[in-house]
Structure 1
Amino acid sequence: MKFQVWLALGILALLLASAWADDVLVLTEENFEKEVGQDRGALVEFYAPWCGHCQKLAPEYEKLGASFKKAKSVLIGKVDCDEHKSVCGKYGVEGYPTIKWYEGHRTAESLAEFVNTEGGTNVKIATLPSNVVVLNAHNFDEVVLDETKNMFVEFYAPW
């Protein structure tokens, strides 16, 4: 009887430990595209459960996941390449562990922020000159009736 109680307590402890240690999002064929590269940056580890280097990295990667758990702007995830071969193949994973960074918003500003952080720089994105002319009652005839230029006019309602 004591053995059964200890066994039940042991199983319960393992279940609780695995629930608490799951600070890294498990990525699969079903959720990878939905979670990665959307509105936040993502650090993704591609691993194989039998890989010694992956096993050694696992507790450190969990610490990283726990540290970033509340950060809404960054995802820490992992893909089991034995179980999800198609995801790993799609992203060119050839060895384990492979860790890749995926940008969230793919805008010039977000890419510049990444380059500035990695490169220790503070470059701002240049504003490009625009060929868009805002038309109003005062300039409409002068701009639109100019036969030397081709133009496209958008009429819109701001609501």
Structure 2
Amino acid sequence: MEKSQIWLTFGTLSLLAASAMAVDVIVLTEENFHKEVGQDKGALVEFYAPWCGHCKKLAPKYEKLGESLNKAKSVLIGKVDCDEHKSVCSKYGVQGYPTIQWFPKGSLEPKKYEGPRTAEALIEFVNREGGTFVFIAF
């Protein structure tokens, strides 16, 4: 194997490892929902469908939110694929996509987010509900 191929392989593996370690938005499933949400931190959860146009439009903003709040240890940013995890979505009354709900620290009783679907509005909501003071860097 040539040196250039070795370095290319090494670089690719390094990028994959870094992206695997930096989880900004937690993927929630039927198996881990109650282990992650309702515990020792507040949680903002997006219930979405992969085919939903509004969900696709929100995705980069939601990722930016997760990236910005990754350092705030008191808040979890999560998402649930409702096509795959129907029971979780029906349990929390999801009827349209995306549905965004806030779960206070230690609670599985959500508060539905009704505001604009912008990164700025979402961070303001999380700061208010979660007691954080985080800004999104653009």
TM range (shorter): 0.5 to 0.7
Q: What is the aligned partner in structure 2 of residue 69 from structure 1?
A: 70
Q: What is the aligned partner in structure 2 of residue 32 from structure 1?
A: 33
Greater Cα radius of gyration, structure 1 or 2: 1
Please give the per-residue CA displacement for 1:23-55, whole angstroms capped at 9, x wherever unaligned.
100000001011101111000000000000000
- 1:102-113 aligned at under 5 Å gives the runs 102-105=103-106
**In the TM superposition, what is the alpha-carbon distance from 1:22 to its structure 2 partner?**
4.1
Structure 2: gaps (5+ residues): 108-124, 130-138
Structure 1: gaps (5+ residues): 107-113, 119-159
Aligned AA (1:87): V
Give the RMSD, CA atoms, in angstroms. Answer: 2.6
Change (3 A) 1:20 1:49: farther
Asked whether the 8 Å contact 1:21–1:62 carries over to 2, the reply is no
CA distance in 1, matches of 2:96, 2:37: 20
Say how many residue pairs are matched: 100
Q: What is the aligned partner in structure 2 of residue 96 from structure 1?
A: 97
CA distance in 2, matches of 1:18, 1:95: 30
After TM superposition, the score normalised by the length of structure 2 is: 0.63
Aligned AA (1:67): S
Q: What is the aligned partner in structure 2 of residue 53 from structure 1?
A: 54
SS in 2 for 1:86: helix
Aligned AA (1:57): L
Asked whether the 8 Å contact 1:22–1:62 carries over to 2, the reply is no
Change (3 A) 1:21 1:82: farther
CA distance in 2, matches of 1:96, 1:23: 21
